[in-house]
Amino acid sequence: MEIKLFIYIWYIAHFLSYHPIIGHCRLLLYNLSPDSLPEGSDVINKPSFDVKIPIYALMFFTVLITFFVFAIIILAYANSELKETRKNLTIHEERFRMAMEATEDGLYDWDLIRNHIYYSPGYLRMLGFKEGEIPSSFEGYTSRIHPDERDHVISEIEEYLHQKKTGKFVTDFRIEKKDGTYIWIQSRGEITTWQGGEPARMVGTHIDTTESRQYHQAIIEINKKLNILSSITRHDILNQITVLHGYFDLIRESVLDDPQCLTYLDKLHGAFDKIERQILFTRDYQNMGVEEPRWQRVEKKVQEAIKALGKTDESFITETGDLFIYADSMLVRVLYNLYENAIRHGNGVTTIQTRFEKRGHDGVLIIQDDGIGIPDTDKERIFEKGVGSNTGLGLFLVINILAITGIKIKETGVYTKGARFEILIPSGKYRLSDPGF
């Protein structure tokens, strides 16, 4: 009814007006098509679909949408990787926690910026403390160090930090437990983080060495007792050999007219001398390993060996600089025996050179002379006990003294052009400056 009324009204308007106008919304309201209107009618407020979008804007929005699609894909992948990383991190943290719970060694983690130290469960157990009972500052850490070693340890730590070394820090000292007793620990550490060129974080371990030190000290005490017994026995034997020499001289004077008897006596005298030399060798051999190995300046030991030989520096060339070797206290005996061996068997040696060179991470101390040298067939045998034209004990003693700290020696010279001994020093057993220990 309303549609018909609308059409009637419209026709009246059309009759009264030459140019009827109708709104688009009215057409929609009455569900009329623009084609059903009389000719000449205008429809106003029609929606426009002829919108022109600039090409650059279209390209921009296309790229933007593509970017967001890829971003969503990447974020989804990253989230997956992050979950996997967190899972692996959780596994590693659990393993680390169990390892720290199980080990008897202590771990510390020192934040130098905040002056805060973390102590692992093993560290706390070692000293009999519970979590939170040890001050977490450097001052709290050093306060438990034995008074006899505290200042030395603090100065070592400060020197290590101030010199900005990249190597490992190692030192030994006593530290107080909760019950007031002290244990020996070996502290190892290393700077792991730097900030503005300064150390910011140091991580390390504490290992209880009390028991091993007690065993070591017991061995030293036993060796001292054995050395005392050996010294007394050797002294008594040498006294008896002196007595035998006296009787030997008396017998020789009484048989000067018996050539055959003199021959026997000369062989007997040779046997006495050999026994005496072997007894004296035991004196040197027993001193091996009695004292702790230590850092020794090679140039100083060379001068001591030359002085013991009774020689001047004119025939010796030393080019070792500030070389220090971690070796047995009998290092000077090694140099003495090598020099003495060159002088005795070198057949006219005029110059003995001692110099140092690096080979990769290791070092080589070379002792070379201008004598006759050693035949190729004897190069390895000369270090065996009893081999040689004299006692056959000098080079045997040399190789054993060096072996105490893992140092090796070999002869590499060319026969007729001189002997050349190369002392092979592993990395960590030599330094080119004062180690400061």
CATH label of the domain that carries residue 313: 3.30.565.10
383 lies in some domain: yes
Three-state secondary-structure class, residue 411: strand
Same-domain check for residues 300 and 426 = yes
Same-domain check for residues 79 and 180 = no
416 lies in some domain: yes
* pLDDT bracket for residue 114 (50, 70, 90): very high
Query: What does the pLDDT look like over 196-243, one tens digit per residue?
Result: 888 999 998 898 988 888 877 777 777 677 666 677 777 777 788 888
113 lies in some domain: yes
* pLDDT bracket for residue 299 (50, 70, 90): very high
159 lies in some domain: yes
Rounded distance between C-alpha atoms, residue 164 and residue 195, angstroms: 12
* pLDDT bracket for residue 275 (50, 70, 90): confident
Same-domain check for residues 299 and 425 = yes
CB under 8 A, 24+ apart: contacts of 266-270:
none
Q: How many domains does one find in the chain?
A: 5
**In 287-434, where does DSSP find H-type helix?**
298-309, 331-345, 394-403
- Least trusted range by pLDDT, from 41-55, 71-85, 225-239: 41-55
93 lies in some domain: yes
Judged against a pLDDT cut of 90, whether residue 46 lies above it is answered with: no
- Least trusted range by pLDDT, from 79-83, 99-103, 266-270, 327-331: 99-103
Boundary of a domain, candidates 251, 286, 321: 286
Same-domain check for residues 310 and 353 = yes
Same-domain check for residues 40 and 71 = no
Widest Cα–Cα separation across the chain:
181
Same-domain check for residues 229 and 185 = no
437 lies in some domain: no
Q: Which is higher by pLDDT, 48 or 425?
A: 425
| pLDDT score at 437 | 43
Rounded distance between C-alpha atoms, residue 283 and residue 227, angstroms: 9
Same-domain check for residues 313 and 424 = yes
Rounded distance between C-alpha atoms, residue 110 and residue 130, angstroms: 18
436 lies in some domain: no
Same-domain check for residues 277 and 173 = no
| pLDDT score at 324 | 93
* pLDDT bracket for residue 297 (50, 70, 90): very high
How do 430-431 and 420-425 pair as beta strands?
unpaired
State the CB neighbour count (10 A cutoff) for residue 389: 7
Same-domain check for residues 343 and 407 = yes
* pLDDT bracket for residue 62 (50, 70, 90): confident
Range of the domain at 354: 294-431
Query: What does the pLDDT look like over 310-331, one tens digit per residue?
Result: 776 668 899 998 999 999 888 9
134 lies in some domain: yes
* pLDDT bracket for residue 164 (50, 70, 90): low
* Best mean pLDDT range from 43-57, 85-99, 216-230, 277-291: 216-230
Same-domain check for residues 198 and 305 = no
pTM above 0.75, yes or no: no
Boundary of a domain, candidates 208, 230, 250: 208
- When the pLDDT of each residue in the chain is averaged and rounded to a whole number, the result is 80
**In 195-349, where does DSSP find H-type helix?**
210-254, 259-286, 298-309, 331-345
Same-domain check for residues 227 and 198 = no
Judged against a pLDDT cut of 70, whether residue 192 lies above it is answered with: yes
What mean pLDDT do residues 415-420 have?
90
What mean pLDDT do residues 144-150 have?
92
Same-domain check for residues 366 and 266 = no
